[in-house]
Structure 1
Amino acid sequence: MGETIGVFELIKLIKNKWFVIVLTSLAGFLLAFTVSTYVIQPQYVSTISLLVSRSQTEEEPLQQGEINTNIQMISTYRDMIENPVVLGKVMEQLPNSISAKELYDKIKVQTQGDSQIFSIKVTDSDPNRAALIANAVAEVFKDSIGSIINVKDMIILSPATPNPTSVSPDIKFNQAVGTIAGAVLGVASILIFTMVDTRVYDEYFISEQLEWNRLGTITSIRNEDHVPVKSPEKDNKKEKSVPIEQVKSSING
């Protein structure tokens, strides 16, 4: 129709074709649910918490400066855990073969503000394997750290356990995104079909868009309608029905 559509025209289009938006929104909702439930593989997280510091006696209390040093050393511990030497030993303890790159992507070291406690978080498609990897990383790190830097005390505060609750995909969030995307697609399809449609549906388009003057109105005539006319024969004074096509051809001829 026109090249541009105003706000009121858009609202009118949406009111007239609301069912299109409902259908596309429903399609987006169902597609997001199907993909999230049956296509995307769920991911599970297991976390193990560690405390690393030097040992001290009652006569030698731990000073504040040494606590700050231990906190700053957590960055070093992170690099050590993600080092190929540690990851290689972890891979040897896993029952299933896994590449170093895949193992590196599964592991994330998290700190807790100004605390000497840090966590090793492992994300995997199997909750049992996620816990196994987290515990294996902590054990290998515990065995290796003493020979690399001067650390004599490492405590595993809470070992990793399988977590049956998946962290991804977020099905409800994906459904909301799919519904919104479907609604947007529905509105866009209505606009596109309206813009490319060159047919005239009402007098408003002629008078307002084309700025033509309306000279009259032609009512709709069905082909099966007949017009009664008199027969030209003098001896036959009865009226008979003539098909509308014959009337039109006579007028055009």
Structure 2
Amino acid sequence: MDTTISYQRLWELFKKNYILLFLSAIILAAAAFAVSKFVIHPKYQSTTALLVNRSQNNNAGAALGDQQADIQIIYTYRDLATRPVILDQVARQLRDRYPDVTSTSLTKMVSVTSAQNSQIFSISARSNNPTESRDIANTTADVFRNKAVQVMGSSISKVSIVSKGLRENRPVSPNVRLFTLAGFLLGGFIAVVYVLIKEMSDNTFRDLDFLEQLKLNSLGTVNYASFRKGRAK
């Protein structure tokens, strides 16, 4: 039996099963919305920006070289900011307000990012509480600013805080709209696959030409007739 499906047949299948497709998409979209809204704990993020620079140098060539050196050393700072030498002290300072915070948990909550060819890099903290995220980000930045000079030497560069982290009440994850859209598309896709598999596995002969290919004789056709039920008088 030929397993190919024409575009006309696909359109007929869509018209016949559009309610199933729509219901499947709506059900999975609702499930994804409920999970992202009420099951997954929201995450809040706060970010502190820091600037790496050197003391002013009257020599323009030397100043440009110092600036390039600061940009290169940011990669070292990014690695240092998430090391135990910084996070251990951050955990000690936050212990009174957040007893559950440890240096181990901070490694999963704190991240450092920087833009290309920029002397500014950011320390971000993400947790289930917006106030906790803000306090972790700001405390990490303060500890790093003081500790970096001790670890790497005061002659290398100066670190200053450009902007403090704020309390962000809007969660950064999960993305409820994205989850809902993904559930809608997945529901529609599952319904389409189900309809296609059901159609491909249907062995009903609908075309007389196929019987002729098998060298079988057609004995006749049975047409559909509609009858109204009524009582015989």
Whether the TM-score (by the shorter chain) exceeds 0.5 is yes
Q: Confirm or deny that 1:36 pairs with 2:36.
A: yes
In structure 2, the partner of 1:20 is: 20
Structure 2 CA distance for partners of 1:84 and 1:210, relative to 1, 3 Å: farther
**SS at 2:65 equivalent:** helix
1:121 is matched by which residue type in structure 2?
S
CA contact (8 A) 1:91 1:97 kept: no
1:183 is matched by which residue type in structure 2?
G
Number of residue pairs matched by the alignment: 217
CA contact (8 A) 1:107 1:120 kept: yes
In structure 2, the partner of 1:154 is: 159
In structure 2, the partner of 1:250 is: none
CA offsets, 1:161-188, max 9 Å, x none? 1111111111112222111111111111
- Structure 1 position 218, deviation (Å): 5.4
CA offsets, 1:110-159, max 9 Å, x none? 11332222111112121111111101111111221121122363321111
CA offsets, 1:196-222, max 9 Å, x none? 344x4xxx615144444432345789x
**SS at 1:97 equivalent:** coil
Distance in 1 (CA, whole Å) between partners of 2:117 and 2:170 is 29
Name the % identity: 32
- Structure 1 position 13, deviation (Å): 1.2
In structure 2, the partner of 1:70 is: 70
CA offsets, 1:72-114, max 9 Å, x none? 1111111111111111111112223234343112222111332
Distance in 1 (CA, whole Å) between partners of 2:211 and 2:45 is 64
- Structure 1 position 2, deviation (Å): 6.1
2:185 is matched by which residue type in structure 1?
I
TM-score (norm 2): 0.82
Distance in 2 (CA, whole Å) between partners of 1:208 and 1:26 is 40
Instruction: Give the superposed CA RMSD.
Output: 2.7
Distance in 1 (CA, whole Å) between partners of 2:30 and 2:224 is 43
CA contact (8 A) 2:56 2:63 kept: no
Structure 2's unaligned 5+ residue stretches are none
Superposition pairs for residues 178-193 of structure 1, below 5 Å? 178-193=183-198
In structure 2, the partner of 1:45 is: 45
Structure 1's unaligned 5+ residue stretches are 226-253
Q: Confirm or deny that 1:97 pairs with 2:89.
A: no
TM-score (norm 1): 0.76
Distance in 2 (CA, whole Å) between partners of 1:110 and 1:194 is 52
In structure 1, the partner of 2:181 is: 176
- Structure 1 position 20, deviation (Å): 0.9
Superposition pairs for residues 83-94 of structure 1, below 5 Å? 83-94=83-94
CA contact (8 A) 2:54 2:67 kept: no
In structure 2, the partner of 1:121 is: 124
**SS at 2:186 equivalent:** helix
CA contact (8 A) 2:51 2:121 kept: yes
Distance in 1 (CA, whole Å) between partners of 2:109 and 2:55 is 31
**SS at 1:52 equivalent:** strand
Distance in 2 (CA, whole Å) between partners of 1:92 and 1:220 is 82
Structure 2 CA distance for partners of 1:218 and 1:65, relative to 1, 3 Å: closer
Superposition pairs for residues 98-247 of structure 1, below 5 Å? 98-151=101-154, 153-198=158-203, 200=204, 205=206, 207-211=208-212, 212-217=216-221
Distance in 2 (CA, whole Å) between partners of 1:25 and 1:220 is 34
Larger radius of gyration: 1
2:140 is matched by which residue type in structure 1?
V
